[in-house]
Amino acid sequence: MGRTLYDKIWDEHVVHTEEDGTSILYIDRHLVHEVTSPQAYEGLREAGRKVWRISSIVATADHNTPTTGWELGYDGITDLVSKEQITTLDANIKEFGAAAFFPFLSKRQGIVHVIGPENGATLPGMTVVCGDSHTSTHGAFGALAHGIGTSEVEHVMATQTLLAKKAKNMLVKVEGTLPKGCTAKDIVLAIIGKIGTAGGTGYTIEFAGSAIRGLSMEGRMTVCNMAIEGGARAGLVAVDQKTIDYIKGRLLAPTGVEWDMAVKYWNTLQSDADARFDAVVELDASQIVPQVTWGTSPEMVLPITGKTPDPDKEKDANKRGAIERALEYMGLQPGKALDDIYVDKVFIGSCTNSRIEDMREAAAIVKKIGQKVARNVKLAMVVPGSGLVKEQAEREGLDKIFVAAGFEWREPGCSMCLAMNADRLEPGERCASTSNRNFEGRQGAGGRTHLVSPAMAAAAAIHGHFVDIRKFA
Ligand SMILES: CC(C)[C@H](C(=O)O)[C@@H](O)C(=O)O
Ligand code: SF4
């Protein structure tokens, strides 16, 4: 019987399997950031160990880095805990080594899930880990990539392996043409709306179908990024010519004979036609409408044409309670039209949507509408995912479009995706955000997050409330 893409990568990396299925998996790439690595390095130090394969480590600082004041250097990091995490990473990499390190202030610094692929650190067929749940992003390259905990970070550093149990195979097939105004973000929000945040639990999801093949690598990364929000630790997309074209010439990508050999192997990284999946979910891309989350979980999502749900109409007591709590936290009434929700802040960024294509989509809408950020919007910020994205966007003049319309154009980092740096929501503030999590307090205590695509966020900034961007498409 044929094998899935997941089966193939797993088989290539499994070192040993116990009777109960517990396996030792060889790890090719270890991405490191400042939040989940300090204890791991400390553990190595205490045990007198070295990093097993230094060339597997690629590191950057992202969660704690400020997005303003870079001209002040490290003095611009006002939060002392943030500063300590960033300088600790600098010291650890100096002591333990890495294949590549993009520290705070360096040109290639950025969100770990943006800089990995961008620098050719993420390659098809690899096993990729990072002490970060959104490592699933890298699956867009046909790599088996998932987040691990801090103790596992230390284990991988010490042994180059990870203890893991094989997940089941799920196929999410999205066929058809995505309507104008809809993006990869709308696809993945629609998938999560359908399967729920636990739908992918215990599975590795392969995203397939003509709509997925039609996406750019940036779009595929957006989809895989949120596989974790659908409950799956890893998401995958089969390798095709787009994958290979994206990688060619990147900093850490193979060259010469090694490139040719790699491409030959990468071209085998698809599920066999007769591969068996344990679960199959199908979606018609042509039916997708721009999505907006209304609640405190990514599955609480509806088309922009929708209205917030009425808990009284929900028969299941648990679900009813969840709807009531979410509406209360979000400060919304049942039956509220989504395009009548006004926002206080707009955040375009995060490892879901801070790549060049996202910047282009947001700028295009701003240009098309041709107006300034609405008066009720206190802050609209665009945070590129890396220094290279920032540079590219500036070459294309996108920053000028944003700034002229009243957006702030910031330095790269995780920024307002989570409240770990200076960018955050104040209690009660409502935000249109292109990030991936809308949990209570995620963007700051009491903050209210609505997850949307970059184009939807940009339009919300200009109109002051959510709008159906299909009318501009
Ligand atoms: C800080 C880090 C461990 C965390 C994660 O694992 O995802 C963060 O990136 C997030 O998005 O919540
Ligand atoms: S951008 Fe957000 S989701 Fe991504 S790694 Fe940073 S904090 Fe996590």
The CATH code of the domain that includes 217 is 3.40.1060.10
**Within-domain flag for 244:** no
Whether residues 369 and 460 share a domain: the answer is yes
Q: What percentage of residues in the chain have a pLDDT greater than 70?
A: 100
* pLDDT tier, 1 (very low <50, low <70, confident <90, very high otherwise): confident
* pLDDT tier, 344 (very low <50, low <70, confident <90, very high otherwise): very high
Q: In what order do the strands lie in the sheet with 408-409?
A: 408-409, 379-382, 345-348, 430-433, 448-451
Plot region of 97 (φ>0 → left; ψ -120 to 50 → alpha; else → beta): left
**Confidence at residue 302, expressed as pLDDT on a 0 to 100 scale:** 98
Q: Is 276 helix (H, G, I), strand (E, B) or coil?
A: coil
Whether residues 332 and 408 share a domain: the answer is yes
**Mean predicted confidence (pLDDT) in 64-90:** 97
The CATH number of whichever domain residue 104 belongs to comes to 3.30.499.10
Q: Is 130 annotated as a binding residue?
A: no
Measured by CA distance, the residue closest to atom 9 of ligand 1 is: 132
Could you write out the DSSP letters of every residue in 281-343?
A: EEEEGGG---EEE-SSSTTSEEETT-B---GGG--SHHHHHHHHHHHHHHT--TT-BGGG-B-
**Mean predicted confidence (pLDDT) in 254-260:** 98
**Confidence at residue 121, expressed as pLDDT on a 0 to 100 scale:** 98
Q: Is 99 helix (H, G, I), strand (E, B) or coil?
A: coil
Any ligand 2 atom below 6 A from CB of 353: no
Q: Is 431 annotated as a binding residue?
A: no
**Within-domain flag for 9:** no
What backbone torsions phi and psi does residue 337 show, to the nearest 5 degrees?
-65, 135
Whether residues 334 and 440 share a domain: the answer is yes
Query: What is the 436 CA–ligand 2 centroid distance (Å)?
Result: 8
pLDDT tens by residue, 205-226: 999 999 999 999 999 999 999 9
pLDDT tens by residue, 233-248: 999 999 999 999 999 9
**Within-domain flag for 380:** yes
Separation CA 140–CA 130 (nearest Å): 15
Q: Give yes or no for residue 345 having a pLDDT over 90.
A: yes
Q: Give yes or no for residue 229 having a pLDDT over 90.
A: yes
Query: Which ligand is in closest contact with the Cα of 153?
Result: 1
Q: Give yes or no for residue 460 having a pLDDT over 90.
A: yes
Whether residues 304 and 282 share a domain: the answer is no
For residue 285, give both structure tokens.
């891309």
Residue indicated by tokens 């979980």 = 297
Against a cut of 0.95, is the pTM above it? yes
**Confidence at residue 289, expressed as pLDDT on a 0 to 100 scale:** 98
The range of the structural domain enclosing residue 66 comes to 14-165
Any ligand 2 atom below 6 A from CB of 63: yes
Whether residues 378 and 334 share a domain: the answer is yes
Q: Give yes or no for residue 337 having a pLDDT over 90.
A: yes
* pLDDT tier, 473 (very low <50, low <70, confident <90, very high otherwise): confident
**Mean predicted confidence (pLDDT) in 264-276:** 98
**Mean predicted confidence (pLDDT) in 409-427:** 97
Whether residues 222 and 312 share a domain: the answer is no
